[in-house]
Amino acid sequence: MNADLIMLEEKLTQLISLCQLLRAENLELRQELVRCQDDSKQLKENMELASQRLQALIERLPEGTL
């Protein structure tokens, strides 16, 4: 009986440690996701700006150049 309680306590300790590890990993992943979303937003904005600049350049080209 005492051995069973000790084994149960060890398994609970392992489970608690695993939960703490997974929570920390989850937090890191959430933070990384936010950074990636911010990067993606910035890249989209940069692409839109580049597209607008290219369009402005194309409109300034003389007729028949393209």
| Residue pLDDT, tens place only, 33-63 | 999 999 999 999 999 999 999 999 998 998 8
| Residue pLDDT, tens place only, 17-32 | 999 999 999 999 999 9
Secondary structure string (H, E, C) spanning the chain? CHHHHHHHHHHHHHHHHHHHHHHHHHHHHHHHHHHHHHHHHHHHHHHHHHHHHHHHHHHHCCCCCC
Quote the pLDDT of residue 15: 98
Residue 65 has pLDDT above 80, yes or no: no
